């Protein structure tokens, strides 16, 4: 083992249910501050557009961005609206307190550390979150699908993360995530070992049946260094 790569949402951050309609309504209220009915219609259109993009990501593994979602919904970009949207999400973005001791312990083992996340958010948003929580400096490379053509579980996404952390052989990598389809099957399909953190209440419509077994299951991230050390010996 030379590298450990983590999923973000549901892994580095605990799983939180989010009301996507309310999130986009916070955006639309800035587009139509004097017309609540029109703001509601715009928010609904953006939610529908985002759901279509996630369906394509699920079925065809095509990555997308928030800008593409807004364009598909016919909604213009609005700086204040986007700021409100980010503020809405803030309570759901805080890093698990177990991340710092876990990643520090892995670094002490001489491992390269990375992140690979399926996300439409721009890179800078994620980096600001990790910087806010004091863990950004612990990672050697960060890969967000909003910068890629494909998202998990496509092989290109995992290989991009592997190369970003400076490793050439997937067998030298461990991937840690909370989803059997996106994370575990995707990682194992390229030859990585895969560790499941099984605490996310993933909505039924986001689940894809898959016949795959993780190489390990951990209940807390702090259980991970011992698992990886065992594989290295």
Specify whether the CB–CB gap between 211 and 190 falls below 8 A: no
Report, as an integer, the average pLDDT of 74-86.
Answer: 96
Q: What is the mean pLDDT of residues 118-134?
A: 97
End-to-end CA distance of the chain: 10
pLDDT at 84: 97
Average pLDDT over residues 127-148: 97
pLDDT at 205 over 80: no
Going 183 to 185 to 190 to 194, the CA torsion angle's sign is positive
- For 23-36, what is the mean pLDDT? 97
Looking at per-residue pLDDT, the higher value among 40 and 201 belongs to 40
**Taking residues 66-77, what's their average pLDDT?**
97
Q: What pLDDT, on a 0 to 100 scale, did the predictor assign at position 203?
A: 79
Q: How far, CA to CA in Å, does 133 sit from each of 14, 31, 190?
A: 14, 31, 31
Q: What is the mean pLDDT of the chain?
A: 96
User: Is the pLDDT reported for residue 24 higher than 80?
Assistant: yes
For residue 139, give the nearest of 1, 5, 2 by alpha carbon. 5
The fold for domain 3-15+93-232 equals: Rossmann fold (3.40.50)
Helix, strand, coil % over all residues of the chain, rounded to 5: 55, 10, 35
Q: Averaged over 210-231, what is the pLDDT? A: 96
**Whether pTM exceeds 0.75:** yes
């Amino acid at each position: 083992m030379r590298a450990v790569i983590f999923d973000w949402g549901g892994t580095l951050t605990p799983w939180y249910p989010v009301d996507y309609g309310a999130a986009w309504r916070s955006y639309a209220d800035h587009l139509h501050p004097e017309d609540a009915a029109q703001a509601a219609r715009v928010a609904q259109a953006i939610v529908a557009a985002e759901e279509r993009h996630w369906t394509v990501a699920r079925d065809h593994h095509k990555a997308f961005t928030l800008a593409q979602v807004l364009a598909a919904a016919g909604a213009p970009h609005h700086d204040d609206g986007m700021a409100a949207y980010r503020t809405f999400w803030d309570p759901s973005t805080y890093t698990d307190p177990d991340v710092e001791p876990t990643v520090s312990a892995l670094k002490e083992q001489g491992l390269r550390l990375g992140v690979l996340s399926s996300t439409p958010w721009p890179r800078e948003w994620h980096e600001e979150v990790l910087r806010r929580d004091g863990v950004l400096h612990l990672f050697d490379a960060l890969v967000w699908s909003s910068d890629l053509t494909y998202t998990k579980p496509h092989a290109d996404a995992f290989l991009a993360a592997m190369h970003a952390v400076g490793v050439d052989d997937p067998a030298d990598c461990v991937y840690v995530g909370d989803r059997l389809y996106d994370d575990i099957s995707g990682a194992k399909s390229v030859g990585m070992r895969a560790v499941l953190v099984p605490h996310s209440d993933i909505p039924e419509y986001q689940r894809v049946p898959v016949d795959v077994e993780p190489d390990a299951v951990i209940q807390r991230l702090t259980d991970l260094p011992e698992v990886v050390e065992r594989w290295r010996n």
